[in-house]
Amino acid sequence: MKVLIALALLSLAALANAAARKPLPARYDHFKVYRTFIEDDEQLVEFKKVHHTIEIHILHDIQGPNRSYDVIVGPLFQHAFERILEDLEVDYKIIVEDLQELLDSSAYDEDADMDWETYHPLDKIYDWVDEQCDAHDFLECKVIGHSYEGRPIKSVRLSKREGNKAIFIEGNIHAMEWISSATVTYILNQLINSDNAGMQRLSEEYDWIVVPMVNPDGFVYTHEVERLWRKNRRPNGYANATGPCYGIDMNRNFDFHWSGAGWNIEDPCDHWFGGDEPNTEREILALQDFVSSFDDGYIRSYMAFHAYGQYVLLPYGHSTTEFPPNYDQMMRIAAAFADGAEDAYGSEFTYGASGLLNYPVSGAAKDWAYGVKNIPFTCTVELRDKGTFGFFLPSNQITEVGVEVTEGLKSLVDKAADEGIFD
């Protein structure tokens, strides 16, 4: 009996230690989000140094002057941050007074059914994918690989007719961009279950290949530990004063002009670290192998969904002067998406080469899909909004985002067909 009691006590102690080791979710009570406007190179040089002296979280790649950058600052450093901005004569405004209140407005119920009125955790998304796969014989569902922590990366291929060309869609390569997988699953649900004649036609005339969650480890981490996490969760072999550094920005890790442009892509502890070399991440390799498993010429469009800014970003990202041979054609197709999306609720999407329009960045999925796999129309769709909520878009906008994107997709596919993309 004493042995049993001792074992029970040891088990309880082990459980208590495990619970103690599990990190509590980060909270952002009274954290503010500042929008700063950097006018010139002199301000930019000093702005880049701020994170060395006080604790801040910059939400964007820093590329150049004449741009705005959103910065999260906790209550302990807000006064100091404002003083620095004033000393630098940097214009700013506070766009979120209490970040935790904003995050709480999109809190989710883990027991709720899958819908597009709230954000959902990974298990709920995957359960819904499995249910759809079991219910429809025109769906081919695969696990294309596993993440660093062993989670499956699932795919759905919808094909109702032999001989169709395919459109490839991927979501949530960046963990914190919850609206990405929400929108991708909305599109997939419409293709599978909608009675809308336009969506039914798209599902009959084209094959659709969907990977709703490229970064499952990072996504789970944003739900359980750190809402602001961007990268995957592989220990990258480096450390700083806070301890080991984790993760690679997987949309900087594709082997096409890798490491050619971007801010802090060489800082292994930063949000945008692209790795010591390209193609290091098992999630990226699984995605590339999956794309490459199809016959050449079958996939005619590759679309990556991200947040935020309301852009349709075309190749290339690494340059402001180099453009694809069929860039004019791609611009006409992107314009069709923007027109269709705007018809729904008036949301305006800007379109053009990402290096020219947004900021130079290299190693992105869309550029690899175009430059290596020769897919003739590729893009990154940056979803709502233009900055009012940014990465923390409230869940009550998910359905509207889904509607406007599906309307944009209808127009995009029709225009791409007119342009001969699917020939």
Q: Token digits for 395?
A: 């869940």
Q: Which of 56-70, 222-236, 291-305, 403-417 has the lowest mean pLDDT?
A: 56-70
d(CA 76, CA 73) in angstroms, rounded, equals 8
Say what the alpha-carbon torsion angle 180, 305, 283, 56 is, to the nearest 10 degrees: -70
Bridge partner residues of 299 (DSSP)? 166
Which carries the bigger pLDDT value, residue 8 or residue 166? Answer: 166
Residue 241's pLDDT band, with cuts at 50, 70 and 90, is: confident
- Contact present, 214 and 153 (Cβ < 8 Å): yes
* Residue 7, pLDDT score: 38
Is 80 exceeded by the pLDDT of residue 243?
Answer: yes
CB atoms near residue 258 (< 10 Å):
20
9, 106, 185, 219, 360 from 310: Cα distances, Å: 56, 20, 19, 22, 17
d(CA 214, CA 147) in angstroms, rounded, equals 9
Q: What is the pLDDT of residues 11-66, one digit of tens each?
A: 434 433 443 355 678 999 999 999 999 999 999 999 999 988 999 999 988 878 89
Bridge partner residues of 211 (DSSP)? 170
* Residue 373, pLDDT score: 98
Domains of the chain (ranges plus CATH)? 32-104 (3.30.70.340), 122-220+277-418 (3.40.630.10)
* Residue 22, pLDDT score: 58
Across all residues in the chain, what is the average pLDDT? Answer: 92
211 three-state secondary structure = strand
Residue 400 known to be catalytic: no
CA geometry: angle 225, 392, 64, nearest 5 deg: 105
d(CA 217, CA 220) in angstroms, rounded, equals 5
Any alpha helices (H) in 269-326, and if so which ranges? 282-292
* Residue 108, pLDDT score: 79
* Residue 344, pLDDT score: 97
d(CA 264, CA 271) in angstroms, rounded, equals 8
Q: Token digits for 335?
A: 């314009």
Q: What's the average model confidence in pLDDT over 196-209?
A: 97
* Residue 13, pLDDT score: 42
Which carries the bigger pLDDT value, residue 158 or residue 263? Answer: 158
Candidate list 382, 400, 404, 419, residue with the active-site label: 382
Secondary element (H or E) of residue 11 = helix 2-21
Which carries the bigger pLDDT value, residue 260 or residue 291? Answer: 291
d(CA 112, CA 115) in angstroms, rounded, equals 8
Residue 109's pLDDT band, with cuts at 50, 70 and 90, is: confident
* Burial profile 240-256: b = 16 or more Cβ within 10 angstroms, e = fewer: eeeeebbbbbbbbbbbb
Is 90 exceeded by the pLDDT of residue 1?
Answer: no
d(CA 360, CA 61) in angstroms, rounded, equals 9
Residue 155's pLDDT band, with cuts at 50, 70 and 90, is: very high
The greatest distance separating any two alpha carbons of the chain, rounded to the nearest whole angstrom, comes to: 80
